């Protein structure tokens, strides 16, 4: 394995606020950036509804993808300088792998769509499958560019992204617990939200990274830098990614798409409710191979344009949820635990009594993530654990070397929240009539947590 | 004049990467932010096509408007602390003006629409008129919130923005050569583009600002900070705002909208070319009072959705320009001067001979700005000049005190460029057939400038 | 209690890279800064030998002291704005306490001397006692300035610093687990070392701080910001403050001072070894009251001037250690545990056999710190624990609310290291002769840790 | 010409807040850093008395020298990658020049001493001559390290620094109008002072730099980055380097050293005034070859230690000036022009009448610099002008291409100031007696400028 591409005579640069500049050194990379499928990422925000909480977070998957490419490029440079392979299989870095690694870094998110998380949840699509399709389908511009390297090159790039590529050094650059993807998004999300928490020390981590027989490891002298990176990731989950306001907007979005799906299925709306670009998804006929073009037409602007229009729809639930989403009227929420989860149906009853359909106006959402995980043969989503190499060549697994990491290893971090209309806490109308209902509802909540009301 | 608003019991903060936090201290400000007209600014990028050159520049008019509000708030704080008015008309700061100033800062751009500059140029709309309409039209949410202060408050806020408000201190906070608007956008555009050039010293400028009888002046000890701010502004124009790639994308956008207008007017497309939301603009029937709701439906996503669809339109020019815009295929350009402007028709002829309609595939664009201007009674757009106050209370006008500023005072900074398809320089097809045409075209260009070709 | 000071007509600013500007608003503060005792802090580095590892860390106790003052000032502003006391004892903030708080913040480190930690260890002085003396001794300029407020004001300021002042809000601003002192030094040390680890979110923490009956607490919404601050502190200890190279330079410094003390005591050097300014310390006659003037003459430059001269001293140990210190020739080190501590005497024997006096050329050093501690009635140095206030007014102690903090609460973080000359690992001379000794020594060390050598 | 050095197996890094890390890749560079002459730079502040105005500016010539080395290293990398020489004399970069360039960058300031500017002025020493001596004198550690490369290598390095080295690319890296030295000090002084003005775009300038036949030029696409760099430099001069408070402290320092020189020459003090390390300079016997060791003993701490002691000297002028310097009691100043320079003797007379010796208590100081200069055959200190290379290979000189630069080209930027004791403006004693004198003095000053008093 090993790919050749003509380098650009003059390296080109793209200005980027996170990495200062992105350096483009191959015509292939330039051509991939110029494809319609890649340019489309300019119209898909990286963080979906998060900009509703952190308004600076308007950045897109386009700049993130460039950033991942740039980190991969820097890793390759460092590996080639300090650990160049002398003989095949010596565990060092073979620089002919650089091109496939850089392409995979650039394209790893090419299948993402508008509000991916919620969209996929409602419509059962899968952006990873679409990534594979875009890379391997001969009709895409991306595929046509990749084929210039060799007929099998698209498959190689795709296999890096789905982790079946034989060289684990390349795979782990893109997908592991300390990979170019995660490192770029932490720094980038931190920069654009203005949250301070994600600013780990990229330069230092790149210095202590090294290739070895089974993939990528880190020099033990970098222990604390990696520990800090894990903590930064942990903080970003707690403070940014799991922020209740953003999740509340996602809840509204999900209910909104669900309602649209129901209307599209409803015979009486078949004549007048016909959002063209969304139809394959609303009626469940989407096919990864034949409808790829349709999928590629979807972006944040297209969805928002529909929602914006639907604010005037005749269906009052669709119209109300669209307005809440577009004009940012988030639901409120309260934390619940397994213990008091049985109280939720009671709360839903009260919500219903005040006139809201609880199917659309309430939701329980669990947001949890493991900041770091060690190898577990039973786990479906096992990630390579982080290995530290000592002076004598022996390895220590990260959580063995770091007290802080050990604490959060394998732990689910996050919370479970019950979402409901803000009106339940701050009623604007019907106040006198429904006051006993509102009071009853509020008696279940203390310090933003669900609790058993006290007896009178 | 003087307005009262109930302060929030608990001040609220919005995270912002430029100012760290935006502090909201009045219910009125909170309510304005939550209006549908203001939330709409989230869907309108601050810099239009600039993100095609600086991909980080995805920020919107929403965050900029918050930033202007925040700078106004800080100016009021400083004025109230150091220069509180003792008697009316003493030239010091009357803090009952704070609310109208903060509202005007927040709302100064509320009338902006998608790709305003080009849109207005083609459709003869005016975002300043729309700003006035949104604030004063009793049907908008913004107006309804402002009226809570007093029936005349909307008019007061509108008059600050159109500069007819009697208190020049308030007017100049929002509109002058060193105002909250310009200070926020320089810092913000610098942050999001990643360009280094706009990072003047906001803290220092806020310190040396002071109210006086005729408006706002600056302590002479801040001379160099203001000089540097002017230079930063100058640099941002040269390096960011006038970047030829962004202007090229604007040229394409303008031609695209023009073509759409022609198709909408064309009888044979009347049946099938009917972009609903755009129709009042395409057919020229837009009315500021009655069609405000239509205007408010327009945002970047709506326009991009049209363009995206038009890539498959039957009209080949509309389809091609849409594709160039959406998939980022910028025109190339060369600088021309008055002296060699007469050569442009010859270049347009060659463009036409290679098969491009020069009306849609060429353009000459002048981008000039005056980084700083002194008072000129003849000028239509005169801005208050920057006055520096000395220890003994006398004034010096900025360009009299600064050599650097004097150099660029009243100078038009920028260039005139002729735009044309990239194919004229790097033809991809018909190369052999049209080679003499391409060669001829290229003989007119040297070092990115138009020139008279040399005789053979 | 409550102090009045004439505010400055024009507030003054000092440029500071960490806080942008320090705002001086009272003549008393300005006068304190201009005292000879405070100006002396310009000549004492904040981090002692740390600049030998992180060369940027040349900052002094002068700028740190200004920074602590500035944070105190900002806390007072926030308290006065959001929690002004209405009636004495209502648990809110009484702004007449501002002056004593700001003075205490500014002066809290006024007693620090050159290389305080090591100096005190060797000479049994105590910078806290000296701080009290400088503030209360009527001969100092500091005392004279403070007395202008009231005769008892110096004692009040001193009592805040030694924590006996009755108002715990004032005391905890300066001395607690999340106080102005720690917050400034973390940010400042992070800025000047260039380490990324200390950049917690000061703005956010200042927002969630609030006064209450028993001192200062934090709104629960700031939980993660405080958690992150604790982790940043933890990282700074591990990566900066406990860095083995800096500790090694401290070991050399300590041995150097010890040797000087011995020479000063030695009759045969009484004639020619007489470092004037150091004599009260070398011969143990230093008295806090009468010799304060002598102490105030000591600064980093004075000590370094002695060491520099001593490089040519006739005593070979003093000369060699001075050279190692001045020309930065650090000792090497290896980690040991209680288990293998008994091996250290063997290592010292080998060191001695190669010609180094182990009293001066080896040392075992334990560097441990508790990043966070909860209240323990037995502990001598108990610090107020961090209390979080919930919406309903109830409190949660930080480690109860944060998994990460709980993990490190009360834990000693750091390591024990054995220091020895670099020559033991990289002998430059006598190599053949002493090779078995060097090999034997090195067999006790693996992966920078002391271990039992393997049997042959 | 071309030098070889064994690269380090493992590259080493030094943490630096300006460049993030300094990368050390050769044993020779490591060894030079570890010499006693280079370590000495840790004890010499980069900006002398500037930290009296900007207290953060405590950084030393040590970190600046590392920074210059690092920029040289990055320039060599870029040159070797994009413009590697194919045949000798082809105008491209010969990487065997890298070592001499890096050593020269590291050592260019090795001869600087404590408060160089003032010290040299008073004692007629020359740090450039000392730099040459340290590099070429066989007794220095620096020379011994350099000789390991080749016997002539020290001379080669010295010739780069004194600009006689034949390869102008190497010379201009270290000494030209846009060289590694200036680029590092602007960024570093900006970082440590906290002034915002010096933050030009280093990454961008490094990208557009290229070697050519006669030295180093810049691609025309980098025009505005270089323009901005020139403006930043201009701003740093105006706002930081020429700050009147720092210059005032320099004036005091100069007078203080002058007084010490006079006392050392005075027979009646020959017994008791004998500051050992300073004697060769005070009595004018310093010799560059034989007294190099003495010079190397001088650092900021040594001088400050003397000044600190002299505060108690029996000579009242020496004692008073020492106190003003050590305890920071700056002189005041006012700007004068050629026109009103004749008024200065009158002011000196008044100063004398109030009891101050005007020789020690007044001074006129001209601080001017040319931010950019074009070639002038008459000029003694001509610097290579900055050349921009266009697409067709032709050159444009910077001031021809940039309006802003043209404005300040060849202009002397700065001012002339007259310094005098603060007491003349704010008398603390003898007020009634001398009031007419003070009033008279003050009538000559308005808005910080000297002026002819108005007639009564």
Q: Say which CATH number the domain at C184 has.
A: 1.10.3210.10
Whether D454 contacts chain B with CB within 8 A = no
Whether C396 contacts chain A with CB within 8 A = no
| A177 CA: distance to closest CA in chain B (Å) | 26
Using DSSP, state whether C307 is helix, strand or coil: helix
pLDDT reported for residue A378:
57
Residue D314 inside a domain? The answer is yes
Q: How would you class A431 by CB atoms within 10 Å of its CB: exposed for 0-12, middle for 13-18, buried for 19 or more? A: exposed
Using DSSP, state whether B312 is helix, strand or coil: coil
Residue A144 inside a domain? The answer is yes
Size of interface A-B (CB pairs under 8 A): 109
The residue out of B199, B216, B242 marking a domain boundary is: B242
Residues D348 and D422 in one domain: yes
pLDDT reported for residue D271:
82
Residue B451 inside a domain? The answer is no
Cβ–Cβ gap C404/A408 under 8 Å: yes
> Phi, psi at residue D388, to the nearest 5°?
-105, 135
CA distances from C217 to B8, C86, C91, C220, D343 (A): 22, 19, 11, 9, 62
- DSSP state, residue C366: E
Cβ–Cβ gap C14/D59 under 8 Å: no
- Distance separating alpha carbons of residues D231 and B228, to the nearest angstrom: 8
Strands (E), D182-249: 209-212, 215-219
The token duo for A217 is 């490891």
> How many domains does chain A contain in total?
3
Residues B206 and B82 in one domain: yes
Cβ–Cβ gap D13/A82 under 8 Å: no
Q: Which residues of chain C from 14 to 53 reach within 8 Å of chain B, CB to CB?
A: 20-21
Residue B375's pLDDT band (cuts 50, 70, 90): low
Residues A41 and A162 in one domain: yes
Residue A195: its chain C contacts at CB < 8 A? 201
The token duo for A246 is 């953003």
Query: Residue B309: which domain range?
Result: 244-330
| A442 CA: distance to closest CA in chain C (Å) | 13
* Rg over CA atoms, chain B: 24
ipTM: 0.94
Residue A1 inside a domain? The answer is no
Domain of D287: which CATH number?
1.20.1250.30
The CB density around residue A432, as the number of other CB atoms within 10 Å, is 8
Q: Which residues of chain C from 174 to 193 reach within 8 Å of chain D, CB to CB?
A: 191-193
Reply yes or no on whether the pLDDT at B384 is more than 80.
no
> What is the average pLDDT across B444-454?
94
Q: Which residues of chain A from 58 to 117 reach within 8 Å of chain B, CB to CB?
A: 58-60, 62-63, 66
pLDDT reported for residue C446:
94
pTM of the model as a whole:
0.94
Please report the DSSP string for A170-231 in residue order. Answer: HHHHHSSTT-HHHHHHHHHHHHHH--STT---HHHHHHHEEEETTEEEEEGGGHHHHHHHHH
For chain B, list the contacting chains (3+ Cβ pairs, <8 Å): A, C, D
Residue D23 inside a domain? The answer is yes
Reply yes or no on whether the pLDDT at C1 is more than 60.
no
Whether D342 contacts chain C with CB within 8 A = no
- Distance separating alpha carbons of residues C330 and C344, to the nearest angstrom: 19
| C59 CA: distance to closest CA in chain D (Å) | 6
Residues A213 and A287 in one domain: no
Question: Measured between CB atoms, which of B34, B195, B328 is closest to A15?
Answer: B195
Cβ–Cβ gap D203/A21 under 8 Å: yes
Cβ–Cβ gap C203/B20 under 8 Å: yes
Please report the DSSP string for C410-424 in residue order. Answer: T--EEEEEEEE-GGG
pLDDT reported for residue A346:
96
Tens of pLDDT, residue by residue over B241-280, are 999 999 999 999 999 999 999 999 999 998 889 898 899 9
> What is the average pLDDT across C283-301?
91
Whether D316 contacts chain B with CB within 8 A = no
> Phi, psi at residue A285, to the nearest 5°?
-100, 5
The CB density around residue C30, as the number of other CB atoms within 10 Å, is 13
CA atoms within 13 A on the CB side of A219: 13
Reply yes or no on whether the pLDDT at C400 is more than 90.
yes
Q: How would you class C288 by CB atoms within 10 Å of its CB: exposed for 0-12, middle for 13-18, buried for 19 or more? A: middle
Q: Which helix (DSSP H) or strand (DSSP E) does residue B192 occupy? A: helix B180-193
Tens of pLDDT, residue by residue over B46-77, are 999 999 999 999 999 999 999 999 999 999 99
Residues B70 and B184 in one domain: yes
Whether D428 contacts chain C with CB within 8 A = no
The token duo for B157 is 């806020």
Placement of tokens 């590892």 in the chain: C53
Residues B212 and B68 in one domain: yes
CA atoms within 13 A on the CB side of D402: 30
Among D17, D299, D311, D328, most C C-beta atoms within 10 A, so best to mutate, is D17
Whether A390 contacts chain C with CB within 8 A = yes
- Distance separating alpha carbons of residues C58 and D66, to the nearest angstrom: 15
Residue B66: its chain A contacts at CB < 8 A? 55
Tens of pLDDT, residue by residue over B385-400, are 899 999 999 999 999 9
Whether A197 contacts chain C with CB within 8 A = yes
Among C43, C55, C64, most D C-beta atoms within 10 A, so best to mutate, is C55
Among B447, B449, B450, most D C-beta atoms within 10 A, so best to mutate, is B447
Using DSSP, state whether C228 is helix, strand or coil: helix
Residue B423 inside a domain? The answer is no
pLDDT reported for residue A270:
81
- DSSP state, residue C166: S
- DSSP state, residue D84: B
> Phi, psi at residue B294, to the nearest 5°?
-65, -45
Q: Which residues contact D84 (CB under 8 A, 6 or more apart)?
A: D92, D93, D95
Whether D305 contacts chain B with CB within 8 A = no
Using DSSP, state whether A418 is helix, strand or coil: strand
Residue C382 inside a domain? The answer is no
Mean pLDDT by 10 residues, chain D (456 residues): 73 94 95 98 96 96 98 95 91 96 98 92 93 97 97 97 96 95 97 90 95 96 93 91 96 96 91 88 89 92 96 96 97 96 96 96 91 65 80 94 87 92 87 88 95 82
Quick one: CA torsion of D254, D255, D256, D258, rounded to 10 degrees? Answer: 90
Residues A235 and A267 in one domain: no
Residue A323: its chain B contacts at CB < 8 A? 36
Tens of pLDDT, residue by residue over A408-455, are 888 888 999 999 999 999 887 777 888 899 999 999 999 999 999 987
Q: Please name the residue of chain A whose CA is at the shortest distance from the CA of residue C194.
A: A201
Spatial contact of A173 and A179, defined as CB atoms under 8 Å apart = yes
Q: Taking phi first (over 0 means left), then psi (-120 to 50 degrees means alpha), and beta for anything else, what does residue C447 get?
A: left
Q: Taking phi first (over 0 means left), then psi (-120 to 50 degrees means alpha), and beta for anything else, what does residue C455 get?
A: beta
Q: Which residues contact C366 (CB under 8 A, 6 or more apart)?
A: C414, C415, C416
> Phi, psi at residue B52, to the nearest 5°?
-75, -20
The residue out of D187, D211, D242 marking a domain boundary is: D242
pLDDT reported for residue B378:
57
For chain D, list the contacting chains (3+ Cβ pairs, <8 Å): A, B, C
Residues D42 and D154 in one domain: yes
- DSSP state, residue B209: E
The token duo for D81 is 């990658």
Candidate from A374-388, B22-36, B307-321 with smallest mean pLDDT: A374-388
Q: How would you class B141 by CB atoms within 10 Å of its CB: exposed for 0-12, middle for 13-18, buried for 19 or more? A: middle
Whether C279 contacts chain B with CB within 8 A = no
Percentage of the residues of chain D whose pLDDT score is greater than 70: 97
- Distance separating alpha carbons of residues B67 and B189, to the nearest angstrom: 12
- Distance separating alpha carbons of residues A70 and B194, to the nearest angstrom: 16
Residues B301 and B318 in one domain: yes
Nearest to C385 by CA among C409, C413, C411, C408: C409
Residues C215 and C301 in one domain: no
> Mean pLDDT over all residues of chain B?
92
Residue C24's pLDDT band (cuts 50, 70, 90): very high
Cβ–Cβ gap C203/B21 under 8 Å: yes
Nearest to C227 by CA among C381, C339, C340, C388: C388
Residue B454 inside a domain? The answer is no
Residue B456's pLDDT band (cuts 50, 70, 90): low
Mean pLDDT by 10 residues, chain A (456 residues): 74 94 95 98 96 96 98 95 91 96 98 92 93 97 97 97 96 95 97 90 95 96 93 91 96 96 91 89 89 92 96 96 97 96 96 96 91 65 80 94 87 92 87 88 95 82
Quick one: CA torsion of D231, D236, D241, D242, rounded to 10 degrees? Answer: 60
Placement of tokens 């998957």 in the chain: A61
Residues A253 and A278 in one domain: yes
Residues C79 and C163 in one domain: yes
Question: Measured between CB atoms, which of C235, C407, C448 is closest to A224?
Answer: C235
The residue out of D303, D329, D355 marking a domain boundary is: D329
Q: Please name the residue of chain A whose CA is at the shortest distance from the CA of residue D13.
A: A207
- DSSP state, residue B137: -
Placement of tokens 């790709």 in the chain: B115
């Amino acid at each position: 394995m090993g790919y050749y591409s003509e380098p650009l005579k003059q390296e080109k640069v793209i200005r980027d606020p996170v990495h200062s500049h992105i350096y483009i050194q191959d015509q292939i990379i330039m051509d991939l950036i110029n494809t319609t499928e890649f340019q489309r990422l300019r119209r898909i925000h990286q963080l979906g509804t998060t900009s509703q909480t952190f308004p600076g977070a308007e950045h897109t998957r386009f700049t993130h993808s460039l950033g991942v490419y740039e980190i991969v490029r820097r890793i390759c440079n460092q590996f080639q300088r300090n650990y160049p392979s002398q003989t095949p299989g010596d565990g060092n870095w073979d620089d002919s792998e650089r091109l496939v690694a850089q392409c995979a870094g650039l394209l790893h998110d090419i299948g993402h769509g508008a509000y991916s998380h919620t969209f996929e949840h409602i419509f059962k699509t899968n952006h990873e499958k679409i990534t594979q399709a875009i890379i391997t389908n001969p009709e895409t511009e991306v595929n046509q560019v990749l084929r210039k390297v060799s007929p099998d090159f698209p498959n190689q790039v795709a296999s890096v992204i789905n982790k079946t590529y034989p060289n684990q050094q390349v795979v782990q650059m893109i997908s592991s617990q300390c990979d170019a993807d995660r490192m770029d998004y932490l720094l980038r999300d931190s920069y654009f939200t203005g949250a301070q928490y994600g600013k780990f020390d990229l330069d230092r981590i790149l210095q202590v990274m090294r290739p070895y027989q089974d993939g990528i490891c880190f020099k033990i002298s970098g222990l604390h830098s990696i520990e800090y990176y894990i903590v930064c990731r942990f903080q970003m989950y707690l403070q940014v990614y799991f922020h209740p306001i953003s999740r509340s907007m996602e809840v509204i979005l999900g209910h909104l798409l669900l309602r649209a799906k129901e209307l599209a299925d409803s015979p009486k709306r078949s004549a007048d409710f016909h959002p063209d670009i969304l139809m394959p998804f609303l009626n469940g006929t989407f096919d990864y191979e034949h409808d790829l073009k349709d999928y590629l037409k979807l972006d944040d602007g297209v969805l928002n344009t529909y929602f914006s229009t639907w604010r005037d729809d005749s269906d009052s639930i669709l119209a109300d949820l669209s307005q809440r989403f577009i004009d940012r009227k988030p639901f409120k929420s309260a934390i619940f635990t397994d213990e008091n989860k049985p109280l939720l149906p009671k709360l839903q009853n009260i919500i219903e009594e005040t006139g809201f359909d609880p199917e659309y106006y309430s939701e329980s959402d669990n947001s949890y993530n493991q900041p770091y995980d060690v190898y577990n043969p039973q786990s479906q989503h096992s990630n390579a654990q982080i290995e530290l190499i000592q002076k004598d060549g022996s390895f220590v697994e990260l959580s063995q070397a770091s007290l802080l990491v050990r604490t959060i290893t394998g732990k689910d971090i996050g919370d479970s929240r019950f979402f409901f209309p803000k009106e339940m806490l701050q009623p604007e109308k019907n106040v006198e009539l429904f006051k006993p209902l509102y009071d009853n509802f509020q008696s279940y909540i203390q310090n933003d947590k669900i609790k058993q009301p006290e007896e009178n």
